[in-house]
């Protein structure tokens, strides 16, 4: 009883199957399984249902039409294949099965070994590094396509480019994309596009197929041609689930050729919508700006008056100020006049009698004038006497009376014969002229400075 109370509630069958499906899908992903096809059933819907068996066990498989359409050859009873997909549980019947997404013939393991070996080698060389990858041009004018002219992939790419942006220029570099030596021709087409430099971006593409069909895009010569191309390269090889080494070497990988065309071409409709939205935004912004400026102009118009109004206002103000000035001046003049009259009355009341002082002043002026004239005459006579005395004592008067002045060569006056030396040169100054002479008598010694 107690065990029943504390035991967990039982699961419904649907819950059990759902739990089992989740466990299978989460823990058995990316697994490849090999075996022999048996009980093959190709339904009218296009789906394949079969069992994959070996000598000891079998598992149910389903290949739905979307993946079956990629097969190059139909499945055959008893064929040995390798497949991968979603390992799951068909809950309605509780049947363990594989929903197949990829398959290949048995023995393809050697190709995948070569695939992984080349991938690792080129990765170590840095061929797949993100740092060396170029960005796709934002607005390409000319699109280059490397593919076969006979493939549906080319038609899909061209149709997509024309639908999205019909003004784009398209240049096709035709090349086989499958078969013997096709990889050399693909590499040559890429090199040709790079040498011509006539496109903005290059699409390398082909439609879906088996791993053997796509193998040319896993060849080293193609990968190196893509990596060395100076034009941005986008890889659109196979379907979305197909992965080739060209996807790693290219600057951008597209899931399909159509996806590559969509990546490199701007959508004309989207651009029209974008331009229309920009137009609406600009129109709204301009309308708002117009409304703001209109309100501002109206405000300024209310603030700004006509020049005649301003002149009239200023004239009125000027007349008022002139009236105020006239009144102030008249009032000030009246006050000053009254004050001056009061000052005159006070001055007349305090003024002394100046008539007597005027008479005294006139007498003093007469006396001063007489004294000045007398003083001037006395000084003038004195000056005349001094002039006569000065003229009498003047050397020039002495020279006019026959006297002369003797000077040495330095201009010093000689007053005594003792100052003369024998042979000394002297100058004799007369009244009207000078004369030079030499002493012929006296001491023969000559002065130091003569």
447 CB neighbour count, 10 Å cutoff: 13
Name the helix (H) or strand (E) containing 241. none
Q: State the DSSP code for 418.
A: G
Are 189 and 169 within 8 A, CB to CB? Answer: no
Rg (C-alpha) for the chain, rounded Å, is: 67
Q: How would you class 282 by CB atoms within 10 Å of its CB: exposed for 0-12, middle for 13-18, buried for 19 or more? A: exposed
Domain boundaries, the chain: 13-107, 112-265, 269-296, 393-450
| Residues 368, 370, 373, 374, Cα dihedral to 10° | -110
Name the helix (H) or strand (E) containing 136. none
Residue 28: CB partners within 8 Å, gap ≥ 6?
87
Nearest in space to 271 (alpha carbons), one of 365, 168, 127, 142: 168
**pLDDT of 292 above 60:** yes
pLDDT, average across residues 306-323 = 83
Cα distance between residue 398 and residue 371, in whole Å: 40
Residue 175 pLDDT: 93
Cα distance between residue 385 and residue 366, in whole Å: 29
**pLDDT of 267 above 80:** no
Cα distance between residue 24 and residue 87, in whole Å: 6
Q: What is the pLDDT of residues 53-74, one digit of tens each?
A: 888 889 999 999 888 888 777 8
Cα distance between residue 236 and residue 32, in whole Å: 25
Q: What is the pLDDT of residues 200-225, one digit of tens each?
A: 999 999 988 777 788 899 999 999 99
Are 99 and 64 within 8 A, CB to CB? Answer: yes
367 vs 433, higher pLDDT: 367
- Do domains 13-107 and 112-265 share one topology? The answer is no
Name the helix (H) or strand (E) containing 338. helix 307-350
Q: Sorting pLDDT into bands at 50, 70 and 90, what band is 109?
A: low
Which class is domain 13-107? mainly beta
Q: What is the pLDDT of residues 324-361, one digit of tens each?
A: 988 888 888 889 889 888 888 888 777 666 777 788 88
pLDDT, average across residues 251-277 = 83
254 CB neighbour count, 10 Å cutoff: 22
Cα distance between residue 410 and residue 406, in whole Å: 11
**pLDDT of 401 above 80:** no
Q: What is the DSSP string of 1-38?
A: -HHHHHSPPPPPHHHHHHHHHHHHHHHS-S-EEEEEEE
| Residues 113, 118, 124, 126, Cα dihedral to 10° | -140
**pLDDT of 190 above 90:** yes
User: CA 86 from chain center: how many Å?
Assistant: 53
Nearest in space to 128 (alpha carbons), one of 33, 278, 303, 247: 247
Cα distance between residue 404 and residue 398, in whole Å: 8
Q: What is the pLDDT of residues 136-173, one digit of tens each?
A: 888 899 999 999 988 888 998 999 888 888 888 999 99
Cα distance between residue 30 and residue 241, in whole Å: 12
**pLDDT of 314 above 60:** yes
Mean of pLDDT over the chain: 84
Q: State the DSSP code for 413.
A: B
Name the helix (H) or strand (E) containing 93. none
Residue 360 pLDDT: 83
Cα distance between residue 50 and residue 85, in whole Å: 14
Q: Which CATH code, of 3.30.70.580, 3.40.50.261, 2.60.120.10, 2.40.50.100, is assigned to 112-265?
A: 3.40.50.261
**SS3 call for 66:** helix
Strands 405-408 and 425-429, by their bridges, are antiparallel
175: left (phi over 0), alpha (psi -120 to 50) or beta: beta
């Amino acid at each position: 009883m107690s065990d029943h109370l504390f035991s967990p509630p039982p699961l419904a069958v649907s819950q059990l199957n759902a739990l089992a499906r989740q466990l299978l899908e989460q823990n058995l992903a990316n697994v490849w399984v090999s075996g022999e096809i048996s009980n093959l059933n190709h339904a009218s819907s296009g789906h394949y249902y079969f069992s994959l068996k070996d000598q000891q066990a079998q598992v149910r498989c389903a290949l739905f039409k979307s993946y079956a359409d990629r097969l190059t050859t139909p499945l055959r009873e008893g064929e040995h294949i390798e497949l991968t997909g979603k390992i799951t549980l068909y809950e309605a019947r509780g049947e363990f099965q594989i929903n197949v997404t990829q398959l290949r013939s048995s023995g393809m393991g050697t190709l995948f070994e070569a695939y992984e070996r080349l991938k690792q080698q080129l990765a170590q060389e840095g061929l797949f590094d993100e740092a060396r990858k170029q960005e796709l041009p934002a607005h390409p004018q000319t699109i280059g396509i490397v593919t076969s002219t006979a493939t549906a992939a080319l038609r899909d790419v061209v149709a997509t480019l024309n639908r999205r942006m019909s003004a784009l220029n398209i240049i096709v570099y035709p090349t086989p994309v499958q078969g013997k030596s096709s990889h050399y021709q693909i590499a040559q087409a890429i090199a040709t596009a790079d040498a011509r430099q006539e496109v903005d971006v290059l699409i390398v593409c082909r439609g879906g197929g088996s791993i053997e069909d796509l193998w040319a895009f896993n060849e080293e010569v193609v990968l190196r041609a893509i990596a060395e191309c100076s034009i941005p390269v986008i890889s659109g090889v196979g379907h979305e689930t197909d992965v080739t080494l060209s996807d790693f070497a290219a600057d951008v990988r597209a899931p399909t050729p159509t996806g590559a065309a969509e990546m490199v071409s701007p959508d004309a409709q989207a651009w029209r919508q974008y331009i229309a939205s920009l137009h609406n935004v600009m129109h709204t912004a301009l309308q708002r700006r117009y409304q703001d400026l209109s309100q501002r102009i109206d405000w300024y118009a209310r603030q700004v008056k006509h020049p005649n109004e301003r002149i009239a206002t200023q004239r009125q103000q000027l007349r008022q100020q002139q009236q105020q000035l006239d009144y102030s001046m008249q009032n000030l003049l009246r006050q000053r006049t009254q004050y001056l009259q009061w000052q005159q009355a006070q001055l007349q009341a305090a003024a002394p009698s100046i008539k007597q002082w005027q008479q005294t002043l006139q007498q003093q002026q007469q006396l001063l004038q007489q004294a000045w004239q007398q003083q001037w005459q006395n000084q003038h006579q004195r000056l005349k006497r001094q002039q006569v005395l000065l003229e009498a004592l003047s050397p020039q008067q002495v020279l006019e009376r026959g006297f002369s002045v003797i000077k040495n060569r330095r201009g010093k006056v000689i007053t005594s014969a003792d100052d003369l030396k024998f042979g000394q040169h002297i100058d004799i100054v007369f009244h009207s002229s000078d004369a030079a002479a030499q002493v012929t008598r006296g001491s023969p010694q000559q002065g130091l400075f003569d």
